[in-house]
Amino acid sequence: MLSGAPSSTESVKRGPRLNDVGVVGGGPVGWAIAWRCAQRGLRVVVHDDRPGSGASRVAAGMLSPVAEAYFGEHELTGLLVESARRWPGFAADLTEASGVDLGHRTDGTLVVGLTADDVAVAGRLWAYQQGLGLPITRLRPSALRDLEPALTTRVRGGAVAPGDHQVDPRRLVAALRTAAERAGVTLRPAHVGALSEVDARVTVVAAGCGAAPLTGLPVRPVKGQVLRLRAPGGGPPGFRHVIRGYADGEPVYLVPRDSGEVVVGATVEERADTEVTAGGVLTLLRAAVELVPELTEYELVETVAGQRPGTPDNAPILGALPGRPGVLVATGHHRHGIVLTPVTADLVTDLIVTGEPDPALAPFSPDRFGKERTWN
Ligand code: GLY
pLDDT tens-digit readout, 86-138: 999 999 999 999 999 999 999 999 999 999 999 999 999 999 999 999 999 99
Which atom of ligand 1 is nearest the CA belonging to 68?
A: 1
- C-alpha torsion sign, points 267, 135, 81, 77: negative
Which atom of ligand 1 is nearest the CA belonging to 335?
A: 4
Lowest mean pLDDT among 10-24, 43-57, 290-304: 10-24
Q: Strand 242-247 to strand 109-113: parallel, antiparallel, or no bridges (unpaired)?
A: parallel
Which atom of ligand 1 is nearest the CA belonging to 62?
A: 1
Domains of the chain in sequence order: 9-58+169-219+312-369 (3.50.50.60), 109-162+221-310 (3.30.9.10)
Who contacts 346 (Cβ-Cβ below 8 Å, separation ≥6)?
36, 86
Q: Is residue 10 scored above 70 in pLDDT? A: no
User: Is the peptide bond preceding residue 180 cis, with omega within 30 degrees of 0?
Assistant: no
Give the residue whose CA is nearest to atom 5 of ligand 1.
Answer: 266
Across all residues in the chain, what is the average pLDDT? Answer: 94
Query: Does the model's pTM come out above 0.75?
Result: yes
Who contacts 133 (Cβ-Cβ below 8 Å, separation ≥6)?
none
Give the residue whose CA is nearest to atom 4 of ligand 1.
Answer: 335
CA of 350 to the centre of ligand 1 (A): 28
Instruction: Name which of 3, 5, 37, 33 is nearest 344 in CA terms.
Output: 33
Give the residue whose CA is nearest to atom 1 of ligand 1.
Answer: 335
d(CA 245, CA 138): 14
Tell how far CA 121 is from the center of its chain. Answer: 25
The verdict on the CB of residue 334 being under 6 Å from ligand 1 is: no
CA of 62 to the centre of ligand 1 (A): 8
d(CA 290, CA 112): 11
CA of 61 to the centre of ligand 1 (A): 8
The phi, psi pair for 343, rounded to 5°, reads: -70, -35
- Tell which phi-psi region holds residue 256, choosing left (phi > 0), alpha (psi between -120 and 50) or beta: beta
The verdict on the CB of residue 308 being under 6 Å from ligand 1 is: yes
- C-alpha torsion sign, points 63, 101, 47, 355: negative
